Amino acid sequence: EPGADLHAKTAEGTTALMLAAGVAIFNEGDDAGTEAETLQAVRLLVGRGADVNTIDDNGETAVHGAAYRGHNSVVQYLADHQAKLDVKNRIGWTPVTIADGVLYAEFFKQHRDTAALLRQLLKERGIAVEDAGIVNQDPRARTRGSER
């Protein structure tokens, strides 16, 4: 209402919706807010016209962000608003790849419940998904991560 530009983008083309959902949050503790607060921010932005299918310069969408965070309520909300679930980012990761477990920046992150939800939603849309398993972007990475 005061005039903030909800369509403004970062230098990498990332929108407020993508950032709210979790894009650019890579390590545990980097993310602020709870899942409920994230969902509230995402709802506000979508309600004000933010496009759930915008893709940034890294090939990521808001669904990628929700997968990084493991926030099922956000994944479901975005899916309910026709978000594409099978977009590959610049290194070939889909949201389900991220939720299945990825190693990057010497950190392992996995969200099994989010991976299961994404598989269910993809199946409902008739989109095939591979069981890629854990993706290792950094061969020097050590498993130190989280699992939900």
Which tens digits make up the pLDDT trace of 74-111? 999 999 999 999 999 999 999 999 999 887 666 677 78
pLDDT of residue 139: 44
pLDDT of residue 141: 40
Mode of pairing for the β-strands spanning 146-147 and 102-104:
unpaired
Greater model confidence, 40 or 139: 40
Cβ within 8 Å of residue 123, ≥6 positions away = 129
- What pTM does this model have? 0.75
Alpha helices in 6-91 (DSSP H): 16-21, 35-47, 62-69, 72-80
Asked whether the beta carbons of 110 and 89 are under 8 A apart, the reply is no
Which of left, alpha, beta for 114 (phi over 0: left; psi -120 to 50: alpha)?
alpha
Greater model confidence, 28 or 72: 72
